[in-house]
């Protein structure tokens, strides 16, 4: 806070933070928004930089012999451990399967690392691991390596899980934000924000009644159908943390284009809309765990959409926007009234409003 | 969604815009009092759709924005005490105090929690009787009844470990201060519908009569706001100055009598400094003698100390409608939602944050003028 004048402010009112703002990790660093991006650029990329990591894709693709292998990793710290429509176990499987799937990879194996807090009931752990097994079976993939660590009571929130996954990309599949072109269509595979609202409805201090269940699901089957549809798919992302708005911004940034999203075309269930109204959230920033955003050549968009709608996880897929020009990056939202406003990434975590 | 879709209807919006265009003959400056209204206006771009004669300026009705910095310092200081949990609404946690905000305090180990209702903070106090639980109560007359209820319940249930920092403020003294200023340029007001849902509309008549300005009690959806503008413009064009109620689906003339009775029992009116507006007489709420035991400032012996705002922040002028956020030199450069200098850049109700999120860059001020 440059320029502040501290006249009359006694030392007793001093803040316990000895360092200037921005020098410690705050929750906003985990929001997937601008603070996360700042942290990646300031800490991780300078230390770990290499051409694969620098792409900042959901998965990294490496050539192994004649095979194209995709590799990804993700940590799961969801609170509460169980929520309507899923739990931390199924989420940890689906999340990593989806990061492989949207990179065009067929998942061939997962690893799972567990950080367990002293005092966690073993029955709870069993139920979560069984849930992982069911999710893995559904996705047609196996957990082929695992690790367990235990920390003292109070050092973790019950249970944290980190999963990594490898997948193989078939020949002929070429996906990447750099392939996005002016005129392309932006598709989404179903209603957005279900997961985030389902989790919030179960969170301590916020319990509200809702019929919304998490959309957590493995997307590899849906992606296979899309890739077989014949339409030219440029790029896909799963809009988890930070929601649809954040991934579309990432795509615009990676490809340097301007994208317009039609607010009225974005599918949002009534329960999610209502919860967002009450909580003061924008559904475009609320997490999904079983949806994908795809940018496709508009010429084949209907073919891709038809294939998506034939799959149980893509029944209400629709077109929500278009790539309108190069010379971005910028994302605009066109409202029902014809006005537009930029759809930016969030500064920090979405905050509940007061009134 | 019922009660929302009909008030976001594009055809209704077009009709209202046509009617305003047909009525207006000269420029008028209208202030929407509430930050929630500012948010809707900028979110939907309503100001861009209105005829050029209508200038909307944004009022002081963002409770986070007007909470004085010393109150935030109190909350931060309390949050660092052993065995104490500080609860508040999410928006409040990112507002900078003299040296840091409550999120920073939390990152440094303070027990700071976001709640949606002061009653949740009271529940926490009952669940954890060994901890002192302090609720940092901010907001206008809209949120004050829930704080009053929490304090009332705490007294009834004899919960000794619950207390509140009361930073609640009232709308009418703020309108009076704006209209009394020599440099005032506001000619009509859209008053905050939810405040009037609690308080009714009667306390606005003395303002209308004294200052000869129309006040239209207005809701928060696009159709509400345009109807409010239409009613306000009609009064201005006809030379009338009355209190009118656009938000009749929620606001009764007498307000919510139960809530008002509870407010009268729990709180008294006191003078308080507002961020940006200085000390306004009888502009704030404080616990009445009967409930003084629940006042955290007294309980923990906090001493009032005036802290100064960052010099660069011109929130005061923004909150009085003298400056558009985009006209502030710090807007978008040294002041952003990531690193706010003042509260209006933090809250979703804050005018600066609303402008920033809507992509109104500093240069947009020039474009706006050009477009009109």
**Do A162 and A121 fall within a single domain?**
yes
Distance CA B62, CA B349 (A): 6
Q: How confident is the model at residue B286 (pLDDT cuts 50, 70, 90)?
A: very high
A179 touches B at CB < 8 Å: no
Residue B194 lies in a domain: no
Q: How confident is the model at residue A219 (pLDDT cuts 50, 70, 90)?
A: very high
**pLDDT > 60? residue A14:** no
- Domains identified in chain A, total number: 3
* pLDDT given for residue A354 in this prediction: 47
Q: Give bridge partners of residue B217 from the DSSP assignment.
A: B191, B245
**Do A154 and A266 fall within a single domain?**
no
- Surface of A (232-271) touching B: CB under 8 A: 270
**Do A195 and A70 fall within a single domain?**
no
**Do B160 and B263 fall within a single domain?**
yes
Q: How confident is the model at residue A15 (pLDDT cuts 50, 70, 90)?
A: very low
Sequence-separated (6 or more) residues with CB below 8 Å from residue B335 = B312, B313, B328, B341, B342, B345, B352
**Do B155 and B84 fall within a single domain?**
yes
Cβ-defined contact of B347 to A9 (cutoff 8 Å)? no
Residue where a domain stops, chosen among B248, B271, B299: B299
Tell me, what CATH number does A329's domain have? 3.90.650.10
A342 touches B at CB < 8 Å: yes
Q: How confident is the model at residue B305 (pLDDT cuts 50, 70, 90)?
A: low
Residue B97 lies in a domain: yes
**Do B321 and B289 fall within a single domain?**
no
**Do A200 and A323 fall within a single domain?**
yes
**Do A200 and A245 fall within a single domain?**
yes
A63 touches B at CB < 8 Å: no
Distance CA B221, CA B44 (A): 10
A352 touches B at CB < 8 Å: yes
- What does DSSP assign to residue B295? B
Residue A266 lies in a domain: yes
**Do A187 and A333 fall within a single domain?**
yes
The model's pTM: 0.84
Q: Tell me the shortest Cα–Cα distance from B359 to chain A, in angstroms.
A: 6
pLDDT tens for residues B114-137? Answer: 898 999 999 999 999 999 999 999
Interface confidence (ipTM) of the complex: 0.78
**Do A123 and A228 fall within a single domain?**
no
Find the distance separating the first CA and the last CA of chain A, reported in whole Å.
27
**Do A208 and A291 fall within a single domain?**
yes
Cβ-defined contact of B98 to A277 (cutoff 8 Å)? no
pLDDT tens for residues B1-13? Answer: 777 889 999 999 9
Cβ-defined contact of A3 to B312 (cutoff 8 Å)? yes
Q: Tell me the shortest Cα–Cα distance from A193 to chain B, in angstroms.
A: 16
Residue where a domain stops, chosen among B299, B324, B353: B299
* pLDDT given for residue B63 in this prediction: 82
- Surface of A (202-231) touching B: CB under 8 A: 205-206
**Do A314 and A202 fall within a single domain?**
yes
Residue B265 lies in a domain: yes
What is the domain range of residue A35?
A: 24-54
Residue B280 lies in a domain: yes
Q: How confident is the model at residue A312 (pLDDT cuts 50, 70, 90)?
A: very high
**Do B338 and B289 fall within a single domain?**
no
Mean pLDDT, rounded, for B38-46: 91
**Do A192 and A248 fall within a single domain?**
yes
Residues in A closer than 8 angstroms to B309, CB to CB, are 4
**Do A125 and A50 fall within a single domain?**
no
A140 touches B at CB < 8 Å: no
**Do A187 and A295 fall within a single domain?**
yes
Tell me, what CATH number does A111's domain have? 3.30.1330.10
**pLDDT > 60? residue B55:** yes
Q: Tell me the shortest Cα–Cα distance from B369 to chain A, in angstroms.
A: 18
What DSSP assignment string belongs to A225-267? HHHHS-S-EEEEE---TTHHHHHHHHHHHHHTEEEEEEGGGS-
Of B42, B89, B308, the CB nearest to A5: B308
Tell me, what CATH number does B130's domain have? 3.40.50.11740
Q: What percent of chain B has pLDDT over 70?
A: 95
pLDDT tens for residues A39-97? Answer: 999 999 999 999 999 988 889 999 999 999 999 999 999 888 999 999 999 999 999 99
Report which of B339, B353, B350 is spatially closest to residue B100, judged by C-alpha positions: B339
Q: What percent of chain A has pLDDT over 70?
A: 90
* pLDDT given for residue B361 in this prediction: 64
Residue A349 lies in a domain: no
Interface test mutation site (partner A, options B3, B90, B126, B347, max chain A beta carbons within 10 A): B90
What is the domain range of residue B359?
A: 315-371
Cβ-defined contact of B91 to A352 (cutoff 8 Å)? yes
Residue B239 lies in a domain: no
Residue A252 lies in a domain: yes
**Do B162 and B260 fall within a single domain?**
yes
């Amino acid at each position: 806070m440059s320029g502040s004048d501290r006249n009359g402010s006694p030392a007793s009112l001093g803040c316990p933070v000895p360092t200037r703002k921005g020098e410690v990790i705050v929750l906003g660093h985990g929001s997937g928004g601008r603070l996360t991006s700042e942290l990646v650029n300031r800490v991780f990329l300078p230390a770990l930089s290499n051409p694969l990591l620098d792409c900042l894709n959901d998965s990294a693709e490496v050539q192994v012999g004649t095979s194209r292998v995709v590799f990804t990793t993700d940590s799961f710290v969801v609170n509460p451990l169980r929520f309507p429509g899923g739990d931390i176990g199924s989420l940890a499987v689906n999340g990593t399967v989806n990061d492989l799937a949207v990179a065009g990879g067929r998942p061939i194996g997962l690893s799972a690392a567990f950080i367990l807090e002293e005092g966690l009931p073993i029955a709870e752990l069993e139920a979560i691991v069984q849930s992982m097994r069911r999710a893995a079976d559904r996705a047609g993939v196996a957990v082929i390596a695992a690790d367990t660590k235990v920390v003292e009571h109070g050092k973790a929130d019950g249970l944290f899980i980190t999963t990594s996954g490898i997948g193989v990309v078939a020949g002929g599949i070429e996906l990447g934000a750099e392939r996005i072109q002016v005129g392309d269509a932006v598709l989404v595979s179903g209603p957005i924000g279900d997961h985030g609202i389902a989790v919030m409805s179960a969170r301590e201090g916020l319990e509200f009644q809702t019929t919304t269940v998490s959309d957590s699901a493995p997307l590899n089957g849906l992606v296979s159908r899309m890739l077989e549809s014949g339409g030219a798919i440029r790029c896909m992302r799963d809009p988890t943390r930070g929601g649809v708005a954040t991934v579309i911004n990432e795509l615009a940034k990676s490809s340097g284009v301007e994208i317009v999203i039609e607010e009225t075309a974005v599918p949002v269930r009534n329960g999610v809309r209502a919860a967002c109204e009450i909580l003061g959230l924008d559904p475009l920033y609320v997490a999904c765990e079983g949806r994908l955003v795809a940018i496709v050549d508009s010429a084949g968009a209907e073919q891709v959409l038809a294939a998506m709608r034939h799959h149980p996880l893509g029944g209400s897929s629709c077109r929500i926007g278009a790539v309108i020009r190069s010379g971005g990056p910028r994302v605009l939202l066109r409202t029902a009234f014809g006005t537009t406003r930029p759809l930016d990434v969030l500064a920090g975590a979405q905050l509940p409003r007061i009134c | 969604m019922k009660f929302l879709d009909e008030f976001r209807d594009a055809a209704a919006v077009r009709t209202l815009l046509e009617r305003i265009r047909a009525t207006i003959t000269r420029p008028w400056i209208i202030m929407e009092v509430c930050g929630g209204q500012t948010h809707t206006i900028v979110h939907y771009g309503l100001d861009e759709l209105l005829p050029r004669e209508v200038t909307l300026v944004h009022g002081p009705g963002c409770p986070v924005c007007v909470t004085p910095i010393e109150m935030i310092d109190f909350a931060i200081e309390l949050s660092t005490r052993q065995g104490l949990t500080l609860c508040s609404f999410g928006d409040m946690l990112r507002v900078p105090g003299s040296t840091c905000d409550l999120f920073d305090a939390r990152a440094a180990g303070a027990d700071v929690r976001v709640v949606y209702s002061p009653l949740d903070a009271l529940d926490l106090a009952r669940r954890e009787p060994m901890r002192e639980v302090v609720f940092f109560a901010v907001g206008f007359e809209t949120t004050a009844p829930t704080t009053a209820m929490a304090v009332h319940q705490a007294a009834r249930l004899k919960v000794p470990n619950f207390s509140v920092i009361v930073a609640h403020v009232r709308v009418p003294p703020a309108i009076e201060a704006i209209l009394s200023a020599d440099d005032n340029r506001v000619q009509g007001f859209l008053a905050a519908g939810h405040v009037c849902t609690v308080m009714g509309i009667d306390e606005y008549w003395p303002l209308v009569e004294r200052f000869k300005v129309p006040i239209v009690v207005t809701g928060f959806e696009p159709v509400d706001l345009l109807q409010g503008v239409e009613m306000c413009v009609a009064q201005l064009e006809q030379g009338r100055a009355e209190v009118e109620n656009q938000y009749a689906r929620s606001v009764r003339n007498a307000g919510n009598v139960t809530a008002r009775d509870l407010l009268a029992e729990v709180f008294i009116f006191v003078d308080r400094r507002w961020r940006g507006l200085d000390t306004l007489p009888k502009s704030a709420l404080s616990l009445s003698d009967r409930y003084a035991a629940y006042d955290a400032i007294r309980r923990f012996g906090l001493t009032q100390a005036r802290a100064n705002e960052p010099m660069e922040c011109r929130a005061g002028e923004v909150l009085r409608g003298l400056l558009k956020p985009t006209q502030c030199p710090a807007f978008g450069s040294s002041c952003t939602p990531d690193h706010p200098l003042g509260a209006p850049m933090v809250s979703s109700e804050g005018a600066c944050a609303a402008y920033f999120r809507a992509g109104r860059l500093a240069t947009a001020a020039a474009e706006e003028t050009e477009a009109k």
